[in-house]
A and B are shown apart, each in its own frame.
Chain A
């Protein structure tokens, strides 16, 4: 009894979260379990668990926020009750979305529902302040949702076409004996099929996640700078993927089919990531020169 009473207030507040934790676990632990035994094993969705861990870490980093006693508990009854109402609306619709998604195997709903569920919970229990502080991890959960099949089907074909075309044009300009028919590249005696995975659609998705995380962690205040970075993520991912396909073509041409299909194929995807990240960092560095000089000249 004594110990309970003597517990610091923060600790008691933390303990108060347990019903929420139990509820959330009941909803999403089965989801995570299924994902871990399912699509997280596929190359396309391998970033899923990483996104989850990042989100958990980002929330953990702001854990003192969750302990803060409700300072703005009832500042003005009107504002408070309307945000509670909004909170319940988010939580309620999120829970329904989840139930539909989980029972009918619509991953978009099942995984996407985490966002309204958490948003609603924060609004009900902590208020707007917490939502403002945690907006990024909430938003970042989007990247856990697999791209809808409709979008994948619509984007994969054109991406493959363009990548094959550019790879052919560039390598031809460098004097390689390369020809193309649709998405099949013929280089020397070899024929290479630019497969769906080569469209780089999913790597674009995960690179976008990485780029946005980088921006959030660096935390530039200048919105123009942020805007330029955001706008350049997809083009960078595309260029990196063209580079990857060209490297694979060159490896096949110089070292044979087996080299092109073997370990190099695997390492090329890692290379793709490194090239893209390097490009993004360099761009940010170039921007920093411009913006900081600019800032010094006109401090206003």
Chain B
């Protein structure tokens, strides 16, 4: 026993050090602890450019069980329908979570649309949306349900970093996490009902540019983050 004990002890101490290291590395502050509170309703103007909120339509609300998940994981959600002068409609949906890590996946359109019976007609593909305020790394896909064809454009921001779902998002979170900060996260989704996909995406581009122009620079930067590398 005399000769063996140090080995056991060393192994035990190594393990304790691991537990302590994990504790020390765990981020405990949210970005929102410091910065000003976000208010999506106030951030997004009712009118900008040719666009205004369409009060006649309330966007389809998610089913109650999904709403419960949303309420639990997202500090704020906003969904509005905008209509322009020629009657074209665009649905805008923003989900914001102060403590990111949780639940962003449930809002990923590739998952959230099929969960409601939509089919993903066209696989998601990444595309850069150029705006006067910098490029946006968007993901585009087409969801369909029966006769309803809905092209979707969305992007995600973690902390102040534009990113994509998957490993890149985890890395963006990690960059904050290792400095002891829990990043917030935002998912911005624009969609319209249109069989002509190219036409829909042009509309989305116009809408997004117009929306960004109508916002204060501070709010705009929260929506845009820094361009994805």
Contacts and interface: CB of A to CB of B under 8 A. Distances in A.
A33 B166 CA distance: 27
3 closest residue pairs by CB, A with B: A23-B15, A19-B12, A95-B18
Nearest to A92: B14
B111 interface: yes
A153 B17 CA distance: 36
Contact of A98 (B10, B22, B115): B22
A19 B178 CA distance: 29
Contact of B25 (A17, A19, A103, A153): A103
Contacts of B4: 13, 16, 70, 125
B26 A102 contact: yes
A16 B23 CA distance: 27
A229 interface: no
Interface in B7-35: 7-19, 21-27
14 contacts: A12-B1, A13-B1, A20-B11, A20-B15, A21-B12, A23-B12, A23-B18, A92-B14, A98-B18, A104-B177, A117-B15, A121-B11, A149-B166, A196-B114
A104 B18 contact: no
Contact of A124 (B11, B119, B174): B11
B184 interface: no
Nearest to A29: B19
B11 A105 contact: no
Contact of A196 (B14, B17, B115, B174): B115
A30 B114 CA distance: 35
Contacts of B26: 102-103
B18 A105 contact: no
Pick the most buried of B4, B14, B170: most chain A CB atoms within 10 A of its CB.
Answer: B14
B15 A99 contact: no
Contacts of B119: 181-183
A125 B11 contact: yes
A103 B105 contact: no
A18 B22 CA distance: 22
Pick the most buried of B1, B105, B120: most chain A CB atoms within 10 A of its CB.
Answer: B1
A131 B119 CA distance: 49
A27 interface: yes
Contacts of B150: none
A24 interface: yes
Interface in B97-148: 101, 105, 110-111, 114-115, 117, 119-120, 146
Contacts of A23: 11-16, 18-19
A153 B120 CA distance: 13
Nearest to B17: A95
Interface string A224-252: 00000000000000000000000000000
A150 to B, nearest CB: 6
A26 B15 contact: yes
A103 to B, nearest CB: 3
Interface string A21-39: 1111011001000000000
A96 interface: yes
